[in-house]
Structure 1
């Protein structure tokens, strides 16, 4: 009964996760259909649990070559980095981390790829996201030199590296001039359909386990009945 109960609970847990993902997808769609936020409006919304999917339009000013390469990224079967640049938005306000896009890594890890940086003030538009923290490893683990290779997108630690406050979101722009890089977008790692599929698997395992236990019980009762004859 304990094993059967655990399997059934796992199935219902996956159904709950599927419902949460459906609600999250609906929220993302609503945010993408809403108007662009200003940087001030976005900063005033930092009390929300997750700001992923909101659209942002803001003027940015690249001040220095603070480019970071997030290691171990895969896009379309290619391994490389997601490149980011920290830029100033307004004096006395937190800086903003801008995603420059995906760059393919070479065979020699000592040779980092070159990235086209933002070099002039411009109006950037796009959507923002917040990466979920890795429960196993969330430290930045920065290496020396620029561009700087990092292992996790830890904005708190990254702010200490550049000695500037950073907004809690990353902007994925859609209007960088002559942008040759891919900007992957996967705000929901597992879809609701996947969770429904996992739920079916757990319920199927529970059903098979119950049938097996009934079969064993029937055989045991039959053996006991034959022993009495």
Structure 2
């Protein structure tokens, strides 16, 4: 009697585990489909912003803090607030590892400073050697589009190194403003009219496209289907025996 009870308990555990694992795989597939739909809506919103009228700096600052300003176009008069360069580490462009270079600009004495992207620069084989970037040294009218990087839940700390140019690990604008002892706008400008600009400006406002999320959904559904088929086959064989 006891072996039968143990056998029934074991089969109950196997069936329950199968249902749980299968449900998790299917749920992950639907989650990826939902993320893909969100990315499609976000892409449509970005296209609308690119076609909308340009903002001035005051309009950009007036946006609600809950709204991601990525994709809005901006035109503003700016003066370099610092000649120092910040280098955002671990950037990849065309399979080449390097940095995104940034410089801080002042728009007006009473407003937060604006972080401006100078472009992508390849890194050296020796990480102790940092690339040399020529800063902008004169006032100019900046035009471009703004973006706000999504925070990395695993690592969002600035982790600024000593010396200049200053290598940083994340674009944490709050910590960067503490470092330079001046408020910064919550978004970054990617300009389209820097003088003597020879550096590329990668634009990737959406880390994963809707198509990739849909591809991941197919993978999760396929895994659920294969797992369910194998478990049903094993159950059928057991019952047949």
Do both proteins adopt the same fold according to a TM-score greater than 0.5, normalized to the shorter chain?
A: yes
What is residue 126 of structure 1 aligned with on the other side? 144
Equivalent-residue separation in structure 2 for 1:114 and 1:217 (angstroms)? 65
Structure 1 gaps, min length 5: 224-229
Cα deviation per residue 1:12-47 (whole Å; 9 max; x = unaligned)?
111101100101111111111111100000000042
Equivalent-residue separation in structure 1 for 2:208 and 2:160 (angstroms)? 29
Stretch deviating more after TM superposition (187-196 or 43-52): 43-52
What is residue 212 of structure 1 aligned with on the other side? 230
Equivalent-residue separation in structure 1 for 2:32 and 2:149 (angstroms)? 22
The one of 63, 75, 84 equivalent to 2:81 is 63
Equivalent-residue separation in structure 2 for 1:94 and 1:71 (angstroms)? 24
What is residue 226 of structure 1 aligned with on the other side? none
What is residue 177 of structure 2 aligned with on the other side? 159
Pair 1:90 & 2:102 matched: no
Closer, same or farther: CA 211–147 of 1 in aligned 2, 3 Å: same
- Normalising by structure 2, what TM-score? 0.89
Contact 1:95 1:167 in 2 (8 A): yes
RMSD: 1.2
Pair 1:12 & 2:46 matched: no
Equivalent-residue separation in structure 2 for 1:66 and 1:216 (angstroms)? 66
Pair 1:174 & 2:188 matched: no
What is residue 239 of structure 2 aligned with on the other side? 221
Q: SS of the counterpart of 1:61?
A: strand
Equivalent-residue separation in structure 2 for 1:77 and 1:51 (angstroms)? 28
Q: SS of the counterpart of 2:213?
A: helix
Which stretches of structure 1, 4 residues or more, deviate above 2 A after TM superposition?
Answer: 46-49, 107-111
Q: CA deviation at 1:92?
A: 0.7
What is residue 20 of structure 2 aligned with on the other side? 2
Q: CA deviation at 1:135?
A: 1.4
- Normalising by structure 1, what TM-score? 0.94
Structure 2 gaps, min length 5: 1-18
Equivalent-residue separation in structure 1 for 2:143 and 2:135 (angstroms)? 16
The aligned length equals: 223
